[in-house]
């Protein structure tokens, strides 16, 4: 179980490493562009070493609020993300699909992601680019399809996918159905929640309608062995102590859900399978 640096906002990337270490998380996902430190790999590497807290995933700076982080060329951002991930020892790069107005980028996005995943240096490092599910933007005038080739990666050719439960909620989709339809393509989970409003809420797991703990149990029971990353909005907590207390409780609950999923996986493998073994 790992902690996204976005979960500590408005505190810093440095605060995330400190908090993750104190609470006993297994690693950190760096949201590049959250603050200046997150884009300085020397600084991130120093934080990881000082706190003995590995960087297990990198969220590429492909948000609408990070247009100039690591340059303006979207492919350049992904290449730099790969360089950073390999240096830091991370094994997943989270990528959003292009915005519709990034026409050239969107036109060859699927093929380009496949090429990045096939690069020998990434394969040797066990590093994958995992495309994240997004959502249509909902406005009083209706839905605006901001992402191309699609906000839902299910029917696209990506080999590796990131499931974000808040995004599923905003899209009025069911995260549990994503788990079941994606199968082994599910590489990474952003564990959070949502209530189905037009906002990307990133509630604490269990506060919304996405059945967060069932998603974890079901994914692990089906063989998922990637990172479960806590990516939540903690703005409402007015102090470090309150924020840390909430993130500590979520860590305990997530570990319990993973343990239940592992138990169900073991039981499934140990049960007799039809006529197998009969003479």
Instruction: Identify the CATH number of the domain in which residue 99 sits.
Output: 3.20.20.150
Number of domains in the chain: 1
CA 20 to chain centre: 16
- The answer to whether residue 28 sits within a structural domain is yes
Domain extent for 77: 2-268
pLDDT category, 173, cuts 50, 70, 90? very high
- The answer to whether residue 275 sits within a structural domain is no
- The answer to whether residue 278 sits within a structural domain is no
CA–CA gap between residue 238 and residue 100 (Å, rounded)? 37
pLDDT of residue 247: 98
User: Would you say 228 and 254 are in contact if contact means Cβ atoms under 8 Å apart?
Assistant: yes
Is the pLDDT assigned to residue 241 strictly greater than 80? Answer: yes
User: Would you say 256 and 216 are in contact if contact means Cβ atoms under 8 Å apart?
Assistant: no
Q: What does the pLDDT look like over 77-93, one tens digit per residue? A: 999 999 999 999 999 99
Phi, psi of 201 (to 5 degrees): -80, -35
- The answer to whether residue 215 sits within a structural domain is yes
Q: What does the pLDDT look like over 118-135, one tens digit per residue? A: 999 999 999 999 999 999
Residues 6 or more apart whose Cβ sits within 8 Å of residue 186: 161, 163, 178, 179, 219, 224, 226
202 DSSP β-pair partners: none
Taking residues 184-196, report their average pLDDT: 97
Is the pLDDT assigned to residue 140 strictly greater than 90? Answer: no
Is the pLDDT assigned to residue 142 strictly greater than 90? Answer: no
pLDDT of residue 273: 63
pLDDT of residue 143: 80
């Amino acid at each position: 179980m790992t902690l996204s640096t976005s979960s500590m906002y408005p505190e810093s990337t440095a605060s995330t490493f400190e908090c993750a270490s104190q609470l006993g998380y297994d690693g950190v996902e760096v949201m590049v562009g959250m603050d200046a430190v997150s884009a300085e790999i020397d600084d991130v590497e120093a934080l990881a070493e000082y706190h003995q807290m590995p960087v297990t995933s990198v969220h590429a700076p492909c948000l609408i609020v990070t247009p100039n982080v690591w340059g303006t060329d979207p492919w350049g951002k992904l290449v730099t993300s790969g360089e950073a991930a390999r240096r830091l020892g991370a094994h997943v790069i989270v990528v959003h699909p292009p915005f519709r107005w990034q026409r050239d980028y969107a036109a060859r996005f699927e093929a380009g992601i496949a090429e990045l995943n096939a690069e020998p240096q990434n394969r040797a490092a066990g590093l994958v680019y995992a495309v994240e599910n997004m959502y249509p933007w909902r406005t009083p005038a209706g839905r605006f399809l901001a992402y191309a080739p699609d906000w839902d990666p299910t029917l696209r050719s990506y080999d590796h996918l990131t499931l974000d439960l808040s995004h599923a909620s905003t899209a009025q989709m069911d995260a549990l159905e994503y788990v079941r339809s994606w199968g082994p393509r599910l590489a990474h989970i952003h564990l959070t929640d949502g209530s189905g409003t037009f906002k990307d809420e990133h509630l604490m797991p269990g506060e919304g309608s996405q059945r967060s703990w069932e998603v974890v149990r079901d994914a692990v029971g089906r063989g998922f062995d990637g990172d479960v990353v806590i990516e939540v909005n903690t703005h409402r907590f007015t102090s470090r102590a309150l924020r840390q207390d909430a993130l500590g409780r979520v860590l305990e609950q997530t570990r319990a859900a993973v343990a239940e999923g592992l138990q169900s996986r073991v039981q499934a493998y140990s049960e007799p399978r039809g006529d197998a073994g009969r003479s």
